[in-house]
Amino acid sequence: MKYAFILSITFYVCSCFYAIFGSYLIVNNENNKANRLFVLLTSSMAIWSFAYSIANSVPTAEENAFWRCMSVFGWGVFYSILLHFILVLTNTEERLNKRLMLVVLYLPAVINIILYAPFGYLAEKQYKVVQTDFGWIDKLPMDMGKLWINLYPIIFVIPSIILLIRWRRELEPHSLMKRQATIFLITVLFPFFVGGLTDILPDILGIEAFPKVAAIFITLPVTMLFLASKRYGVFLEKRKEVIIYRETEEVADSSRLRLFETAAAIFTIGALGSFFAGYFIAGGDLAHELSLALVVL
């Protein structure tokens, strides 16, 4: 069972990682469409990873099924947001009918939530889990519901990769943007290749299931985007610093806002640390530790 514990901790650390990245971008980057979509991406990944960390650590199959259903608010919308983000990043969105684009992008996400969210049409019926050394593993044979779960990421990832390849080809040779775009493309391909091997292929072939770890490896492209934005100001537009002379009262307001942002960051880290110590380390009750963390947050 130590492998199950390690996997649960890894998922939880990833969820904290995504949450902190998203919070940083909200404070430091411009409020434009690409940045907003990236924050939504990190938020969906945080939900996905957190739900998986709890699902893998709970003692009963019923609780596991519930938290797997909760994870649909992460994976069930992530791939739609990802393709939308890449459409904006590559300036492809401008050439599309926006209303039709939004329907095509987000209708599958709505279907996912209707089908697989807690109390959805399929919900817990879609999972038949057994306890293994790596935690709870889904053993349900392939059916239409499971087929859709596997098709959804494929339908959105393939166009995303094609758009990135075309966009990279159009960039100026030997430029900083092209180098960063190449790294981004590689970091996108790797986790989706690994995710296909661990999350999709076993279901299709009907072989012994593996832990679904795509949410862990997606940290690679997220980190790359974050570092490229922070170091070089590419992909995600940073907030521009403008030096102006302001009245004392305006300076005080700015300092107060920075103080509130710092306090919010401290409380966020405190809530994440409190839940980690209380639930994973001390083995406390899930409902109690989660409530305490939410109060602190």
Average pLDDT over residues 220-233: 75
Strand partners, 137: 130
Q: Per-residue pLDDT tens for 26-38?
A: 776 666 788 888 8
Q: Per-residue pLDDT tens for 50-96?
A: 999 999 989 998 899 999 999 999 999 999 999 999 999 888 888 88
Task: Give percent above pLDDT 70 in the chain.
Answer: 85
Q: At 162, is the pLDDT very low, low, confident or very high (cuts 50, 70, 90)?
A: very high
Q: pLDDT at position 245, please?
A: 47
Average pLDDT over residues 188-213: 74
Collapsing DSSP to helix, strand or coil, 143 comes out as coil
Q: pTM, whole model, 2 decimals?
A: 0.86
Question: Cα separation of 47 and 44, whole Å?
Answer: 5
The answer to whether 296 touches 274, Cβ cutoff 8 Å, is yes
Q: Per-residue pLDDT tens for 131-152?
A: 888 888 888 777 888 889 889 9
Would you say the C-alpha torsion 253, 259, 263, 265 has a positive or negative sign?
positive
- Rounded to 5 degrees, φ, ψ at 57 are -110, -10
Average pLDDT over residues 179-193: 83
Q: pLDDT at position 152, please?
A: 93
Task: Label residues 143-167 b or e (16+ Cβ within 10 Å = b).
Answer: eebbebbeebbeebbeebeebbeeb
The answer to whether 18 touches 43, Cβ cutoff 8 Å, is yes
Query: How many CA atoms lie within 13 Å of 215's alpha carbon, on the beta-carbon side?
Result: 32
Query: Residue 179 above 90 pLDDT?
Result: no
Query: Residue 254 above 80 pLDDT?
Result: no
Would you say the C-alpha torsion 47, 139, 159, 110 has a positive or negative sign?
negative
- Rounded to 5 degrees, φ, ψ at 227 are -65, -40
